[in-house]
Amino acid sequence: MFARHRRLRQSSGIRDLVRETVLTPLDFIYPVFVVEGENIKQEIPTLPGNYHYSVDRLPEVVEEVHKAGVRGILLFGVPDYKDEIASSAFDENGIVQKAIRRVKSFSPELVVITDVCMCQYTSHGHCGIVKDGVIDNDESLKFISKIAVSHARAGADMVAPSDMMDGRVQAIRKALDQEGFTHVSVMSYSAKYASAFYGPFREAAHSAPQFGDRKTYQMDPANIRQAMREMEADVEEGADILMVKPALSYLDVIRWARDRFDLPIAAYNVSGEFAMIKVAVQAGLLNEKDAAMEMLTSIKRAGANMIITYYALEVGRWMNGK
Ligand code: PBG
- Residue 321 binned pLDDT confidence (cut-offs 50, 70, 90): confident
So what's the pLDDT on residue 36? Answer: 97
**CB 73 less than 6 A from any atom of ligand 1:** no
pLDDT mean over 268-292: 98
Rounded average pLDDT over 121-142 = 94
Measuring from atom 10 of ligand 1, which residue has the nearest CA?
198
**How far is 76 from 93, CA to CA, in rounded Å?**
15
Say yes or no: CB of residue 47 within 6 Å of ligand 1: no
CB 168 within 8 A of CB 234: no
Q: What is the structure's pLDDT at 203? A: 86
Q: Residue 222: pLDDT above 90?
A: yes
In the reported structure, the alpha carbon of residue 143 is separated from the centroid of ligand 1 by a whole-number distance in angstroms of: 18
pTM value is: 0.97
* Strand, helix or coil for residue 305: coil
Span between the terminal Cα atoms of the chain, in Å:
47
Quote the pLDDT of residue 84.
95
State whether the beta carbon of 114 lies less than 6 angstroms from ligand 1: no
Sorted by where each starts, the structural domains of the chain and their CATH numbers stand as 20-319 (3.20.20.70)
- Ligand 1 pocket, residue 50 CB under 6 Å: no
- Tell which one of 114, 143, 192, 201 to mutate to probe ligand 1, the residue whose CB is within 8 A of the most ligand atoms: 201
Taking residues 219-225, report their average pLDDT.
Answer: 98
Q: What is the pLDDT of residue 322?
A: 67
Alpha-carbon distance 49 to 36, whole Å?
Answer: 20
> pLDDT of 232-264, one tens digit each?
999 999 999 999 999 999 999 999 999 999 999
- CA–CA dist 322, 315 (Å, integer): 10
Parallel, antiparallel, or unpaired: how do β-strands 72-78 and 51-54 relate?
A: unpaired
265-269 and 241-245 beta bridge pairing: parallel
How far does the centroid of ligand 1 lie from the alpha carbon of residue 217, in Å?
13
Residue 317 parent element (H or E): helix 312-319
Residue 132 has pLDDT above 80, yes or no: yes
Read off the pLDDT of each residue in 58-64 and give the average, rounded to a whole number. 97
Measure the CA dihedral 66/70/72/77, to 10°: -70
Q: Among the atoms of ligand 1, which is closest to the Cα of residue 308?
A: 15
User: Among all residues, which ones are annotated catalytic?
Assistant: 192, 245
Question: Rounded to whole angstroms, how far apart are CA atoms 115 and 295?
Answer: 23
Task: Look over the chain and give the mean of its residue pLDDT values, rounded to a whole number.
Answer: 97
310 lines ligand 1 (CB under 6 A): no
Task: Quote the radius of gyration of the chain (alpha carbons, Å).
Answer: 20
State percent of the chain over pLDDT 90.
97
Taking residues 285-314, what's their average pLDDT? 98
The answer on pLDDT for 191 being more than 80 is yes
Q: How confident is the model at residue 273 (pLDDT cuts 50, 70, 90)?
A: very high
Q: Which of 198, 203, 216, 277, when mutated, tests ligand 1's pocket best, judged by the most ligand atoms within 8 Å of its CB?
A: 198
Q: Using the mean position of ligand 1's atoms as its centre, give its distance from the Cα of residue 218 in Å.
A: 11
* pLDDT for residue 207 is more than 70: yes
